[in-house]
Amino acid sequence: MSSVPLQDFDADQLAQFHEDIKRAFEDLKSKNLKLDLTRGKPSSEQLDFADDLLALPGKGEYLAADGTDVRNYGGLNGIEDIRSIWAELMGIPVEQVLAGDASSLNIMFDVISWSYIFGNCDSTQPWSKEETVKWICPVPGYDRHFSITERFGFEMITVPMKEDGPDMDAVAELVKDPQVKGMWVVPVFSNPTGYTVSAEVAQRLAEMETAAPDFRVVWDNAYAVHTLTEDFPEVIDIVSLGEQAGNPNRFWAFTSTSKITLAGAGVSFFITSADNRAWYTNYAGIRGIGPNKVNQLAHARYFGDAEGVRAVMRKHAASLAPKFEKVLEILDNRLAEYGVAKWTVPTGGYFISLDVVDGTASRVAELAKEAGIALTGAGSSFPLHNDPNNRNLRLAPSLPPVEELEIAMDGVATCVLLAAAEHYAS
Amino acid sequence: MSSVPLQDFDADQLAQFHEDIKRAFEDLKSKNLKLDLTRGKPSSEQLDFADDLLALPGKGEYLAADGTDVRNYGGLNGIEDIRSIWAELMGIPVEQVLAGDASSLNIMFDVISWSYIFGNCDSTQPWSKEETVKWICPVPGYDRHFSITERFGFEMITVPMKEDGPDMDAVAELVKDPQVKGMWVVPVFSNPTGYTVSAEVAQRLAEMETAAPDFRVVWDNAYAVHTLTEDFPEVIDIVSLGEQAGNPNRFWAFTSTSKITLAGAGVSFFITSADNRAWYTNYAGIRGIGPNKVNQLAHARYFGDAEGVRAVMRKHAASLAPKFEKVLEILDNRLAEYGVAKWTVPTGGYFISLDVVDGTASRVAELAKEAGIALTGAGSSFPLHNDPNNRNLRLAPSLPPVEELEIAMDGVATCVLLAAAEHYAS
């Protein structure tokens, strides 16, 4: 791009540009839009892929492969019918995999909560007895993760999320502090950057020495198979990596079918070591009698096997890829020449991370709101919603149809440009 | 009954009786039984009543009455389709009712856990900051309740569960202690006695002054509509009672469809005041995004309305009543004349509470186990499994077919008599 970046415009050029873009923004407002780019929700088209599931397991169908009547009480680990499909899909031993209710976020909250109240299986005391609990948060990251550690009052320490994963030099330094008890990471097609943890970074996470014996990595593999291309990412058997490195209980790994079948009614998976599983079920068995096995059987029948899961994911890719392309095309066409933004180009997942001119992200969100376009609040990908540079926005292209998405993103581009013009003019 | 009680037998009579019953026990053992009376699980026949549910909501069926797509994320309160059926069934305002995942026990654990970590909406500090938390436990009661308060380290104080509910004089005295933060109660067809809280006892619970402002009654109405007769019990609108008495947040009430549709895959309900609901969803919204609404819609379609629920419950009554009659008949025929046991005669619920000769309950369970009949462990209806008189056993007639139940109960009667004979002979 040989064009002049906005920040190098002279005063007259900038005034003219500001005038033009203000008019474009007024036009935008006059359209009275009501569009939503806030959350990574699947679209109706995607949810329709699982239509058969709404009638499964089907009348008279209630026996798991091992003869368990899934309708009755019991079975804290979930049924092997669905656990074995996930083990095959992720190339891990079936024993590692527990199948739960719909939400893996629920289990993440619970394991942190129970570590806080009771201590985990490597704790010398409950985390609530520590003077401070510190938690490593790669940024930008997933807002709901940060909300959990915020609620428990943990001190959240950010490290950069790089293209190959969390900045490991920073992490390795931080875990020398025994009060650092854990970290969040979305290892594949990370929310919101789309970055994927490399084998090297995974190995360093598994091997690194931590001062806290009960340190845990919440390895939230929410987008493990959520490709936007023909290729599926290699799944790292992170629990076995930890075991081989002499840190068998380091990883609490999670995934779910939320963005494979039904966002609010899928099956969650908790993948971890034998000791962590025994610790977990010891509390889960007090909290209740077991997960919804009928839904697990329905899912097992729906998929059939691991290839059945991949077949569904190809449909999602076909639905989502044009939306991501459209967003990237608009960002390119409208913003690139002015040097007012940078964005990630993910090959999977649900988000695009957009960095605008420093100091203007909240203004962009405000302008978009004025124009009837809901964006995730500026700063939401940072602990306490505190983006120190006020520059990051998370774009979620999945929910709207592509025609609406085009209108919304064109509007967002206008807002980015207007906020930048205001910034440089002031 | 004009017979002589076993304890009044002279030495020769007792020796002869002991000899005879020992032989009967050896006969029993030689049958190599493998029967299970441990848990209140519905039978296959009962689970079959919900066969249609296994294919619901059905293909293309995913819109709640208010237009919500139940497949997607969101909706912490659950969908009104099922909440309104429960409101109608229980004669309470729909606003009071939150619908959740399959297990109400999960929610009970969570509200106690969150009160412990963060405090509830009337707490001046989290319960974990109290020197001691004390909890009132009507006995005999539900073992899984006591396991929760045991896990949190609460001091469990027992009060007698009488035919009209917990001994209110004892309760009113205990709640003068500000460290007494709550109590368990199963108000209708209580586990294991089958007793039901009277309107007067409910009123006293609602009105009583408690020293702790954040005192809570866990009103676990698990058997609200679980009649064994033609009549349904009157449902007490306990939350409104509390409100009218000036203690609006006193009750956390629960119920579920576990023993109406599918034991492990039903819908749970949390019924409580506006402040308690706001407090709960404030944490539930950090723990996750919302319950499984697809399962809630499936249930709403399955029932249609409150009368649909009652129609299902009549089928359960028709299946369960003969089993209860059989157990009571055997207890009458085999034990009454000897004066070695007392038992409850429930008109609903899942259990019969059997008191044997003081000091012999654990021996009865041990003998039954030797004979291949699994009984819930002696003492399990008491906190810490500590039945101070070692006399209570919980009988769960629901799971086995009636022919097996007959064999099992006849065996249990033999064990009760043998243990009594051993006791008086020693």
pLDDT digits (tens, 9 = 90+) for B328-357: 999 999 999 999 999 999 999 999 999 999
Q: Could you tell me if A343 and A2 are in contact, meaning their C-beta atoms sit under 8 angstroms apart?
A: no
Dihedral, CA atoms, A128, A131, A133, A134, nearest 10 degrees?
A: 170
Decide if B59 and A61 are in contact by the 8 Å CB cutoff: no
Decide if B117 and A75 are in contact by the 8 Å CB cutoff: no
Query: Tens digit of pLDDT for each residue in B58-106?
Result: 999 999 999 999 999 999 999 999 999 999 999 999 999 999 999 999 9
Query: Tens digit of pLDDT for each residue in B289-316?
Result: 999 999 999 999 999 999 999 999 999 9
Q: Which tokens in the block code for residue B101?
A: 């995942």
Tell me which of A44, A287, A398 to substitute to probe the interface with B (most B C-beta atoms closer than 10 Å): A287
* Alpha helices (runs of H) in B91-182, residue ranges in sequence order: 104-117, 143-151, 168-174
Distance (Å, rounded) from C-alpha A202 to C-alpha A217? 11
Q: Could you tell me if B156 and B141 are in contact, meaning their C-beta atoms sit under 8 angstroms apart?
A: no
Q: Tell me which long-range contacts B75-79 makes (C-beta under 8 A, separation of at least 24).
A: B75/A264, B75/B290, B75/B291, B75/B293, B76/B281, B76/B284, B76/B285, B76/B289, B76/B290, B76/B291, B77/B277, B77/B281, B78/B267, B78/B290, B78/B291, B78/B293, B78/B296, B79/B293, B79/B296, B79/B297, B79/B300
Q: How far is A389 from chain B (nearest CA, A)?
A: 26
Residue A148, classed as helix, strand or coil, is: helix
Strands B268-271 and B97-99: antiparallel
Q: Which of B50, B144, B265 has its CB closest to that of A295? A: B265
Q: Which residue of A has its CA nearest to B42?
A: A72
How far apart are the two ends of chain A, measured CA to CA in Å?
Answer: 26
Distance (Å, rounded) from C-alpha A358 to C-alpha A392? 9
Distance (Å, rounded) from C-alpha A341 to C-alpha A335? 7
Q: Which residue of B has its CA nearest to A267?
A: B292
Q: How far is A263 from chain B (nearest CA, A)?
A: 5
pLDDT at B38: 87
Tell me which of B47, B71, B128 to substitute to probe the interface with A (most A C-beta atoms closer than 10 Å): B71
CB atoms within 10 A of CB A307: 12
Amino acid in position A322:
P
Strands A155-162 and A165-166: antiparallel
Q: How far is B8 from chain A (nearest CA, A)?
A: 45
Residue B23 has pLDDT above 90, yes or no: yes
Q: Which of B57, B116, B292 has its CB closest to that of A264? A: B292
Name the strand (E) or helix (H) holding A47: helix A44-48
- B contacts of A42 (beta carbons < 8 Å): 72
Decide if B263 and A106 are in contact by the 8 Å CB cutoff: no
Residue B2 has pLDDT above 60, yes or no: no
What residues have CB less than 8 Å from A12, skipping those under 6 apart?
A: none
Query: Tens digit of pLDDT for each residue in A5-51?
Result: 999 999 999 999 999 999 999 999 999 999 988 888 999 999 999 99
Q: Is B286 on the interface with A (CB under 8 A)?
A: yes
- A contacts of B144 (beta carbons < 8 Å): 286, 289
May I ask the CATH architecture of the domain A6-46+311-425?
Answer: Alpha-Beta Complex (3.90)
pTM of the model: 0.97
Dihedral, CA atoms, B330, B336, B340, B344, nearest 10 degrees?
A: 70
Distance (Å, rounded) from C-alpha B115 to C-alpha B125? 9
Decide if B292 and A102 are in contact by the 8 Å CB cutoff: yes
| Intrachain domains A6-46+311-425 and A63-304 with the same fold | no
Give me chain A's average pLDDT, please. Answer: 97
Residue B1 has pLDDT above 50, yes or no: no
Distance (Å, rounded) from C-alpha A308 to C-alpha B267? 29
Q: Is B30 on the interface with A (CB under 8 A)?
A: no
Q: Is A204 on the interface with B (CB under 8 A)?
A: no
The pair phi, psi for residue B180, each rounded to 5°, is: -80, 110
Q: Which residue of B has its CA nearest to A297?
A: B54
Helix axes A306-335, A402-425, angle to 10 degrees: 40
Beta bridge partners of residue B383, listed in sequence order: none
CB atoms within 10 A of CB B207: 15
Q: How far is B18 from chain A (nearest CA, A)?
A: 40
- Which of the residues in chain A have pLDDT under 50? 1
Decide if B70 and A264 are in contact by the 8 Å CB cutoff: yes
Name the strand (E) or helix (H) holding B138: strand B134-139
- B contacts of A299 (beta carbons < 8 Å): none
pLDDT at A3: 77
Beta bridge partners of residue B35, listed in sequence order: B373
CB atoms within 10 A of CB B141: 26
Q: Is B7 on the interface with A (CB under 8 A)?
A: no
Q: How far is A23 from chain B (nearest CA, A)?
A: 37
Decide if B289 and A264 are in contact by the 8 Å CB cutoff: yes
Q: Could you tell me if A269 and A97 are in contact, meaning their C-beta atoms sit under 8 angstroms apart?
A: yes
Q: Is A213 on the interface with B (CB under 8 A)?
A: no
Decide if B101 and A105 are in contact by the 8 Å CB cutoff: no
Q: Which tokens in the block code for residue A402?
A: 């592509």
Distances (CA, A) of A110 to A117, A242, B54, B152: 10, 22, 29, 15
- A contacts of B44 (beta carbons < 8 Å): 69
- A contacts of B129 (beta carbons < 8 Å): none
Report ipTM (2 d.p.). Answer: 0.97
Q: How far is B3 from chain A (nearest CA, A)?
A: 43
Q: Which tokens in the block code for residue B200?
A: 């007067």
Q: Which residue of B has its CA nearest to A105?
A: B288
Q: What does the angle CA B243 – CA B244 – CA B250 come to, to the nearest 5 degrees?
A: 35
- B contacts of A267 (beta carbons < 8 Å): none
Q: Which CATH number fits domain A63-304: 3.40.640.10, 3.40.30.10, 2.60.40.10, 3.40.50.300?
A: 3.40.640.10
Q: Is B165 on the interface with A (CB under 8 A)?
A: no
Going by C-alpha positions, the residue among B365, B357, B344 that lies closest to residue B161 is B344
Distance (Å, rounded) from C-alpha A39 to C-alpha A165? 23
Distance (Å, rounded) from C-alpha A33 to C-alpha A412? 12
Q: Is A182 on the interface with B (CB under 8 A)?
A: no
Decide if B292 and A258 are in contact by the 8 Å CB cutoff: no
Q: Which residue of A has its CA nearest to B296?
A: A265
Q: Which of B44, B59, B289 has its CB closest to that of A105? A: B289
Q: What does the angle CA B363 – CA B365 – CA B367 come to, to the nearest 5 degrees?
A: 70
Query: Tens digit of pLDDT for each residue in B152-167?
Result: 999 999 999 999 999 9
CB atoms within 10 A of CB A217: 26
Decide if B71 and A105 are in contact by the 8 Å CB cutoff: no
What residues have CB less than 8 Å from B401, skipping those under 6 apart?
A: B43, B45
Q: Where are chain B's structural domains?
A: 6-46+311-425, 63-304
Q: How far is B403 from chain A (nearest CA, A)?
A: 21
Q: Is B11 on the interface with A (CB under 8 A)?
A: no
Decide if B41 and A72 are in contact by the 8 Å CB cutoff: yes
Q: Is B67 on the interface with A (CB under 8 A)?
A: no
Q: Is A84 on the interface with B (CB under 8 A)?
A: no
